[in-house]
Structure 1
Amino acid sequence: MVRILRLMAAPIAPLVPLVVPPAYALIATDLDGTLLRGDDTLSDRSRDALADAVAAGAQHLVVTGRPAPRVRPLLDDLGCRGLAVCGQGAQLYDAGEDRMVWSVTLDRELAETALGKIEAEVGEVYAAVDQDGVDGLTLIEPGYRMPHPLLPAVRVDRRDDLWTEPISKVLLRHPWLSDDELAAAARQAVGSLAAVTMSGPGTVELQPCGINKATGLALAAERLGLAPSGTIAFGDMPNDIPMFHWAARGVAMANAHDDLKAVADEVTLSNEEDGIAVVLERLFG
């Protein structure tokens, strides 16, 4: 009996609040056709959903095909002060310090050779390049039309002017071939000279071999101390496929390319209908 009384009189340990980890520690989002609406704006609902997820302990990481200089104003608007994966994974940009943490350039001689091989198969193409660096320009040759009219570009007089500075990628357009047809022909023509991807309407690109959104995302996640098992990724185009393969869960937008939908774990509403917010509200609400 004495022993029982002693047990009952023992001090009760204070309750420790239970810390529940977020459903996903890392939220990786593409921009065009995914997080942003067609006019390059972010809806209040999407902004609030991301803020709630971050408040719950998750981190938001932009993973985009846009080069760092074309992303900087959007990152400011999103309040992103950390890392961003840009240029299809060829650039890891620190928004807070406005510096490139890591970048890979596309060999300009290989790029020019690749263009020649593509034109030998499909006829004349029009090209543009994204220069490397935090202040790199987008240069477009005669005949090339920017697929996104809100992105700034500098027109040059001839193709040779595209190669004056280091570049991160080449953008291609064809007078009549569809994006899928041009991408398929380019892959067949360039072989191992460069990687070919499609990141949006009118946007077929050549980039360094072995570089894609997954390589950039993996590098950023490692620096953040996060893993694929805790990552959810959102996208809309075939260039997001490597990112979906790397992440634990891939969510395609309703407006996504069929190739991405085929490998997605889930299809949400379109970018115009706050598809990302719908998923985040379910996971973090």
Structure 2
Amino acid sequence: MNTEKHIRLAALDLDGTTLRSDKSLSEYTIETLKNAHEHGMNIVVASGRSFASLPEQAIQFPWAEYAITSNGAAVYEVHTGKRLRECRLKPEVVEKLLAIAEENHVMVEGFVDGVPYSARAYVENPVLFGASLYSVSCVKSTRRPVEDIFAFLLEHKEELDSLDIVVGDERTKATLRRIISEQVEGIYLTSSVPTLLEISDEKAGKATALAFLADYLQIPQAATVAFGNAENDIDMICWAGVGVAVENSPEEVRRAADEITETNDADGVARWIEKKHQAASHI
């Protein structure tokens, strides 16, 4: 249980957690985070997205000082673009993952030094390769297209922060998760959406990155809070002094959390932070 009177570090997952379903930040959330920051709270974006694909609306504000990206594979100082921590995939791991993807006829995308790349055909029509309709606009607006993604990623196998495998259904996802878990060592394997398997180095994970930032900022674990809604948030929710799931989270995430807040569309993150600030001000 958190014995700190004040939360000093808040890690916010974006998609499905802090962002509304239309990918926007409400004015209420913006003002609440601004107020919390002005009262001494460090705000950290904690996303499965790469740095270059973070939505501008989430990182343009002064309160967005740090970003955990690619599921913890890289940590940035947002407004300078400086990398504070990184753990790239090992080249031999990249080779194995690409071979498995090719053998199973699934699409891949890779994050090279914070920039997301994928095949031109996938970027032009993500749904054809199994992506959800929900992710189409994100893919089209953030991925840099290359003609042969497998050749490109092999060429850059020493520079990969992480690699995503695009799956079209739960059966394929389960099969590939089993194959990868059995055949590839030294990885952190997770998922933020039903159509992706997200793979980083074993030293990655949002929890590890959050622990690094807490140490970097000299903030005790008990004074941290983490918000999330998906599998890739569970380790961070469990590590933080207080782990909070939004109400729209699946049951496995809700079970991992200490508290449940309102949904992303009801500004659950901001509402929790405002209540915490009000409670602390009366101590």
TM bucket, shorter chain: 0.7 to 0.9
Q: Quote how far apart the aligned CAs of 1:176 are.
A: 3.1
Distance 2:182 2:11 in 1: 32
User: Aligned with 1:216: secondary structure?
Assistant: helix
1:41 corresponds to which of 24, 30, 33: 24
CA contact (8 A) 2:50 2:70 kept: yes
Structure with larger Rg:
1
CA contact (8 A) 2:191 2:198 kept: yes
| Cα root mean square deviation, aligned | 2.4
Distance 1:203 1:217 in 2: 23
1:11 equivalent in structure 2: none
Q: Quote how far apart the aligned CAs of 1:177 are.
A: 3.1
Q: Tell me the amino acid that sits aligned with residue 51 of structure 1.
A: K
Q: Quote how far apart the aligned CAs of 1:125 are.
A: 1.7
1:52 corresponds to which of 31, 35, 45: 35
Change (3 A) 1:176 1:72: closer
1:61 aligns with 2:57: no
Structure with bigger RCO (C-alpha 8 Å, 6+ apart):
2
1:160 equivalent in structure 2: 151
- Structure 2: tracts of 5 or more residues without a match: 279-283
CA contact (8 A) 2:190 2:197 kept: yes
1:132 equivalent in structure 2: 113
CA contact (8 A) 1:128 1:141 kept: no
Q: Tell me the amino acid that sits aligned with residue 109 of structure 2.
A: A
Relative to the length of structure 2, the TM-score reads 0.82
2:254 corresponds to which of 252, 261, 285: 261
Relative to the length of structure 1, the TM-score reads 0.82
Change (3 A) 1:221 1:113: same
- Structure 1: tracts of 5 or more residues without a match: 1-20
Q: Quote how far apart the aligned CAs of 1:239 are.
A: 0.8
Distance 2:59 2:84 in 1: 18
2:13 corresponds to which of 20, 23, 30: 30
Distance 1:178 1:79 in 2: 43
2:61 equivalent in structure 1: 78
Q: Quote how far apart the aligned CAs of 1:164 are.
A: 2.6
139-148 or 25-34: which moved more? 139-148
CA contact (8 A) 1:91 1:104 kept: yes
1:90 equivalent in structure 2: 73
Change (3 A) 1:126 1:46: same
Alignment of 1:123-202 (within 5 A): 123-133=104-114, 136-140=115-119, 142-143=121-122, 145=126, 148=135, 149-150=137-138, 151-158=141-148, 159-165=150-156, 166-177=159-170, 181=174, 184-202=177-195
Distance 1:179 1:38 in 2: 26
Q: Quote how far apart the aligned CAs of 1:137 are.
A: 3.7
CA contact (8 A) 2:43 2:65 kept: no
CA contact (8 A) 1:186 1:196 kept: no
Matched residue count: 261
1:4 equivalent in structure 2: none
Q: Deviations over 1:68-119 (max 9, x none)?
A: 1112724543334632211111111112322222222112331221343466
Q: Tell me the amino acid that sits aligned with residue 145 of structure 2.
A: R
Change (3 A) 1:113 1:180: closer
Change (3 A) 1:80 1:180: farther
Distance 2:185 2:264 in 1: 34
1:8 equivalent in structure 2: none
1:107 corresponds to which of 90, 101, 110: 90
Change (3 A) 1:65 1:250: same
Q: Tell me the amino acid that sits aligned with residue 154 of structure 2.
A: W
Change (3 A) 1:196 1:91: same
Distance 1:261 1:201 in 2: 17
CA contact (8 A) 1:75 1:95 kept: no
- Percent identity reads 25
Q: Quote how far apart the aligned CAs of 1:167 are.
A: 1.1
